[in-house]
């Protein structure tokens, strides 16, 4: 099996599963309980928080554990909107955000907030002057995805943060779900107020995540109850999941240091070989991109047909974002980049991990050539 759909989810490391099992069996107490089992669980949760914070170069009190990227995005966006609605009801985002951000914005629009969507250029990058023009006296939040989950473009987060320094009352949220352990991001240097993470994107477990919340800022909770997670996110904590996630983050950051050159080599090989195949159009730009994502179209083929053909060969890739793929809708990101509908509807995404090999890449290229030939003959 060749698994090239790591932007959708990653395979958990064996050590991560072992940690989850051990904590679940041996330290199953509720971390809010006063007895020793509860204290043990609380200590493990604190250690996981401390390790996560250390790896991200932030303070432990700035890390809130969540159930994943979707919850982190919703908590940052809706929590900020509710907290600062008396200051203003204008929010800025881009037109290439993840579905969890889009949906949150749409819901806020129904509640009377005004949302401005800054367009991207043909390379999938927002232009700072357009963002600056969108800022108003009643703007309370700017939310921008760091690494686009479909084409891999990297937004100029540091430059955006410098622009927002001139607007100190505007909060800054970054969806860093696809960038973790692939594209470095200095949360403090970039003056980020909120940053979203998801454990299953870096070989942790599904249902685990975190939200960085800069010290000194506050938001309105979305979940009411026992006042866990600094009174921002109530609910009994998933201790085993968070221990596993902090360990997965450590492993993945170590892999980044060791295996990034190999991932870049594979990415370059795939781009070069795909560009030499007749009928293939590559949508991921040549620069300002993440090392693990490559998006391309094959002229004349429906994306889902191409994906299923490769699946029969034991190769797994995807069409669009996993959160949108079953809707069979054309990629909003590609349309925003000006890609014609008939080209965008045939787009597929390859996404690597540090476990991917050059041999797998070579097998994939050969399978693409065979797929184009055989599907082309069927369609004649």
Point out the residues that are catalytic: 323
Backbone angles phi, psi at 197, to 5 degrees: -135, 155
8 A C-beta contact, residue 140 and residue 91 = yes
How large is the greatest C-alpha to C-alpha distance in the chain, in angstroms?
A: 72
Among candidates 195, 213, 203, 184, which has minimal Cα distance to 244? 203
In the structure encoding, which two tokens stand for residue 272, read together? 């070069």
In sequence order, what DSSP letters do the residues of 236-287 get, joined into one string?
Answer: ---HHHHHHHHHHHHHHHHHHHHHHHHHHHHHHHHHHHHHTSTTEEE-S-SS
8 A C-beta contact, residue 334 and residue 120 = no
The b/e string for 180-217 (b: 16+ C-beta within 10 A; e otherwise) is: bbbbebebeebbbbbbbbbbbbbbbbeebbbbbbbeee
């Amino acid at each position: 099996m060749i698994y090239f759909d790591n932007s959708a989810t990653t395979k958990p490391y064996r050590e991560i599963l072992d940690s989850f099992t051990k904590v679940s069996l041996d330290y199953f107490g509720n971390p809010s309980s006063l007895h020793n089992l509860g204290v043990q669980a609380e200590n493990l949760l604190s250690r996981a928080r401390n390790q996560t914070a250390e790896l991200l170069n932030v303070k432990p009190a700035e890390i809130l554990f969540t159930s994943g990227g979707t919850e982190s995005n919703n908590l940052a966006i809706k929590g900020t909107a509710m907290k600062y609605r008396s200051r203003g009801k204008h929010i800025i985002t881009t037109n290439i955000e993840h579905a969890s951000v889009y949906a949150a914005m749409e819901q806020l629009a129904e509640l009377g907030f005004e949302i401005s969507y800054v367009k991207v250029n043909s390379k999938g990058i927002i232009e700072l002057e357009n963002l600056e023009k969108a800022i108003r006296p009643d703007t309370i939040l700017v939310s921008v995805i760091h690494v686009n989950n479909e084409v891999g473009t990297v937004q100029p987060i540091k430059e955006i943060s410098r622009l927002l320094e001139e607007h100190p009352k505007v909060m800054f949220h970054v969806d860093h779900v696809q960038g973790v352990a692939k594209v470095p991001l200095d949360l403090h240097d970039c003056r980020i107020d909120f940053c979203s993470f998801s454990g299953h994107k870096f070989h942790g477990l599904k249902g685990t995540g975190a939200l960085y919340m800069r010290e000194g800022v506050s938001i309105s909770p979305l979940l009411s109850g026992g006042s866990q997670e600094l009174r921002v996110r109530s609910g009994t904590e998933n201790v085993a999941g968070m221990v596993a996630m902090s360990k997965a983050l450590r492993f993945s950051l170590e892999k980044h240091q060791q295996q990034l050159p190999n991932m870049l080599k594979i990415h370059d090989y795939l781009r070069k070989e795909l560009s030499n195949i007749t009928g293939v159009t590559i949508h991921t730009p040549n620069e300002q991109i993440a090392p693990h994502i490559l998006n391309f179209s094959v002229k004349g083929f429906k994306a889902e047909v191409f994906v299923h053909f490769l699946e029969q060969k034991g190769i797994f890739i995807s069409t669009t974002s996993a959160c949108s793929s079953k809707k069979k809708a054309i990629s909003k990101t590609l349309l925003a980049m000006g890609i014609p509908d008939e080209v965008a509807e045939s787009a597929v995404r390859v996404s690597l991990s540090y476990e991917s090999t050059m041999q797998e890449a070579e097998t994939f290229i050969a399978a693409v050539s065979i797929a184009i030939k055989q599907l082309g003959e069927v369609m004649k």
